[in-house]
Structure 1
C-alpha cells in the first residue's frame, strides 16, 4: 500500500504538519500544497471522478469523500446518545441534542444518517467565520462568500462543504434529481438557493451557529476555569454553542458536544487563551525528527502531478512484483 498525503502549507498548526511530514517511510508520500483545504480537495476529487483511473490503480480516500468514513462516525452518535439519554425506559425515547463542529460536514452527514435510522437526536452544527453551512441552515444561502478566512479552528476553514450534498439528499427524501441539479449549479457558479421545502426540513432537523476567534478563546478559558478541561479550538466552537444556548434556554435538552481533536495539537492557541499547553513527550519529539515534503506550488497542475505520482507508484509496484516473480 502507498499513502499520498496532501496538507495545506501554513493552514494547519506546526504540530499537525509535523505529524504528517515526519512519516518518512518509503510508501508515504507527503505533498505540501500552497493553498487552503478547499483548493487541495479539488485534485483529489478530480482523480476520483475518473472512475476508470481510480479502479485501475485501486485508489481509496481516507477523508470524508469516502462513504465508509461517514459510517464510522455514525457510531459516535449512538455512543453519545446512550451516555446522555436520561432514561431508556420511556416511550418514546427522550431527545438528545448533539453539537457538531463542522468543516466539510462529514460528521454532520453521519449524524443525519443516525437520525434516519431512528436515533432520537437533534443536530446542532457550529462553524467558524467560514459560515456557509450556518447561512444554509438559517437562510438557505448555500453560496461561496469569497476567499476562505484563516481562523483559530483551522481544520474548519472550509467554504466548499462537499458533504452537504449527502445531507441535502438524506433530508430531501432521497430526491436524486433535485440534488444533482442543485449541486451542479453550485459547482458551476458557487451560488445556490436551497428550495423552500428542503430548507424547511433542514431547519426542522438542524440548528446552527457561527463562532468567532474571540468566542473560541473565551470558551477555552471558561471551560478550563469551570471544569479544568483543556479544549482544542474546534471543540471550543461546539462548547461555545452550549454556553450561549444554556444562557437563554430554560430548561434545555440533554446535550453532547463532539470534540474532534486534542488541544495538544494547538499549543499556540492554548497560549493565546492564556492557558498552559499539555503536550505529551511523543508529540514534543516530533520537533527533532527528520521530515520530508514535496511542494505543490501555485501555478502547478495539481491534478496532473497527483495522477503522475499515482501512475509512477503503480508502475514501481508492478516492476517489484515482476522481479520477485
Structure 2
C-alpha cells in the first residue's frame, strides 16, 4: 500500500514515510492510493475477536512495510494501558448504543489513536536512527493524548499549542503537569483555529520542516485516522444488528472532521453503515455544510464542549478529495478559496453526494445541559458535553432514520466538571488519576498569536 497527497504532488510513498511526513510536502493531506474492501464473510470472521485482533486485521490492510509480528506487538503495547479489556466497550441504552472511547490514559477518544502513534513513532525512529520534533495544535483532548502518547519516548520532542483559557481545567492540567524533558506546552493568546493556523504555516515552510525534521501528531497524520477506523468496525460487531448484517447509523461529535472521517473510510471499506451523522455545537460550520453546502468561516463561540469550538476542520480536505472524485486541482482551488475568501462553494450535485453519506445536527449550550440531565435521569448515566451533542442529535433524528444509532462517547464526564454540575447539580465521580493532577507541578509557556514567535521558540528548543 502506497500513499499520495490530496493535492497531487506527492505520490507513491510508504506507510512509514507517510507517518513521519505528517502533512504532505505539497501542503495537502496524505491518503491511501486505494481503499481495501472487507467482505461480509471477513467481517463476520472478526465478530468474536478482541479489539487488538480487529485492529491488526484492519491496519494490516494499509501497512505493508512493517512485519506482521512487529505490528501485532505495537498494537498490543498501545492498548495495554486502557482500563477495560474491550478497550472501547459498547453500552446499550435502549434508544441508542453508546461507544465508550474514554478508557485510555487521558480519558478521551484521542488515546485510541495516539497511544498507537506514539509507539509507532518510537519504533520507526529507532529503526532509522532518527529524531523527530512533533508540532501540534489542540482544542483540548488531542494535546494531552498526544503528550501521553510520546512522553519519555526516545528520539521525540513534542510542542503542543493550545488556546489560552479556552480548554477545560482538566484538559489544561493533563497537559501542563507533564514535566518530561521532551514535552513543551505552549498557551497561545487566541482560539484553536489560530493555533491550527500557526501549525499549518510552520509545516508549509518546507525548508524549516526538513531542517528540523518536523512531524505531526494532529489528525492530519494518516496513522491517526487509520487507528480510528478500527473502532467503527469493532463497535458494529458488538451490536445485535451485526448478527443479520443490518445497517446502522453512527453519530459523531466532531469539530475537526477527523473522527467522522474515519467512519467514512469504514463505510467505503464495506462496513454496513446507513448514515454518518455529524453532531456539532454552536460552532456549526460542518452542520451548515451538510445541510446547505454552506462552508463559510464565522467567529468561534465559546461553549460547554470546547473541543468542538472550531471553524476550520483540518481533515475536511481529505473528504473533499473524494467529493471531487480525486480532482487534485479542484482540491487545491477550494483550499485556496478557504484561505483567501473564508468560504468554499458547492454545487447542487456535490451537496446531493454529501447527503448520501452524511446527516448532521447542531446543539445549543442550553440543549447540551438538558441532554446531560435527561440521560442521567433516564439511564443513571452521565455523558460529557461533547457526547451530549451526539445524543441530542440521535434523539432529534430517531424518527427520520429508522436504523439504530451508535453514539460515540468521546470523553469521560470528569473532564468537564463545571458543565456536568450545572446540568445535574453534582459533579461526576472523579477518577483517581484526575484527582492527582491538582497537586502536581505545572510547566507552560505563554506566547502571542504569532507564527514567527512560535518558530523562534521551537528553534531554541529543538533537535536538528
Instruction: Please state whether the residue corresponding to 2:460 is helix, strand or coil.
Output: helix
Cα distance, 1:191–1:171 mapped onto 2, change above 3 Å: closer
Alignment of 1:225-244 (within 5 A): 225-244=377-396
Partner Cα separation in structure 1 for residue 333 and residue 348 of structure 2? 15
In the alignment, structure 1 residue 268 sits paired with structure 2 residue 418:
yes
Instruction: Please state whether the residue corresponding to 2:181 is helix, strand or coil.
Output: coil
Name the residue aligned to 2:460. 312
Name the residue aligned to 1:185. 337
- Report how far residue 24 of structure 1 moved: 1.5
Q: Which structure's relative contact order is higher, taking Cα pairs within 8 Å and 6+ residues apart?
A: 1
1:249-288 per-position Cα deviation (integer Å, ceiling 9, x unaligned): 4x72021001111111100011110243211122112112
Match of 1:22 among 177, 187, 204: 177
Partner Cα separation in structure 2 for residue 22 and residue 183 of structure 1? 37
In the alignment, structure 1 residue 212 sits paired with structure 2 residue 364:
yes
Instruction: Please state whether the residue corresponding to 2:343 is helix, strand or coil.
Output: coil
Preserved contact between residue 100 and residue 258 of structure 1 (Cα < 8 Å): yes
Partner Cα separation in structure 1 for residue 174 and residue 195 of structure 2? 18
In the alignment, structure 1 residue 256 sits paired with structure 2 residue 410:
no
Moved more, 106-115 or 201-210: 106-115
Name the residue aligned to 1:8. 163
Match of 1:127 among 272, 280, 295: 280
Partner Cα separation in structure 1 for residue 387 and residue 168 of structure 2? 15
Match of 2:296 among 137, 143, 153: 143
Cα distance, 1:79–1:86 mapped onto 2, change above 3 Å: same
In the alignment, structure 1 residue 42 sits paired with structure 2 residue 192:
no
Match of 1:55 among 210, 221, 237: 210
TM-score (norm 1): 0.90
Partner Cα separation in structure 2 for residue 32 and residue 310 of structure 1? 14
- Report how far residue 105 of structure 1 moved: 0.6
Instruction: Please state whether the residue corresponding to 1:158 is helix, strand or coil.
Output: coil
In the alignment, structure 1 residue 283 sits paired with structure 2 residue 438:
no
In the alignment, structure 1 residue 111 sits paired with structure 2 residue 266:
no
Cα distance, 1:297–1:53 mapped onto 2, change above 3 Å: closer
Q: Which has the higher helix share?
A: 1
Instruction: Please state whether the residue corresponding to 2:396 is helix, strand or coil.
Output: helix
Partner Cα separation in structure 1 for residue 168 and residue 242 of structure 2? 41
Partner Cα separation in structure 1 for residue 197 and residue 414 of structure 2? 29
- Report how far residue 135 of structure 1 moved: 0.6
Partner Cα separation in structure 1 for residue 316 and residue 186 of structure 2? 27
Cα distance, 1:161–1:85 mapped onto 2, change above 3 Å: farther
- Alpha-carbon RMSD across the aligned residues, in angstroms, is 1.6
Partner Cα separation in structure 1 for residue 236 and residue 330 of structure 2? 32
Preserved contact between residue 414 and residue 427 of structure 2 (Cα < 8 Å): no
1:38-79 per-position Cα deviation (integer Å, ceiling 9, x unaligned): 011111111111223223322222111212111111112111
Alignment of 1:194-209 (within 5 A): 194-209=346-361
What is the total number of aligned residue pairs between the two structures? 307
TM-score (norm 2): 0.64
1:164-214 per-position Cα deviation (integer Å, ceiling 9, x unaligned): 111121233222222221221111110222122221110111000100011
Alignment of 1:159-174 (within 5 A): 159-174=311-326
Partner Cα separation in structure 2 for residue 238 and residue 75 of structure 1? 20
Partner Cα separation in structure 2 for residue 86 and residue 114 of structure 1? 17
Cα distance, 1:67–1:212 mapped onto 2, change above 3 Å: same
Partner Cα separation in structure 2 for residue 50 and residue 297 of structure 1? 20
In the alignment, structure 1 residue 102 sits paired with structure 2 residue 269:
no
- Report how far residue 88 of structure 1 moved: 4.0
Q: Gapped runs of 5+ residues in structure 2? A: 1-155
Following TM superposition, where does structure 1 have runs of at least 4 consecutive aligned residues deviating by more than 4 angstroms?
none
Preserved contact between residue 264 and residue 280 of structure 1 (Cα < 8 Å): yes
Cα distance, 1:310–1:297 mapped onto 2, change above 3 Å: closer
Instruction: Please state whether the residue corresponding to 2:331 is helix, strand or coil.
Output: helix
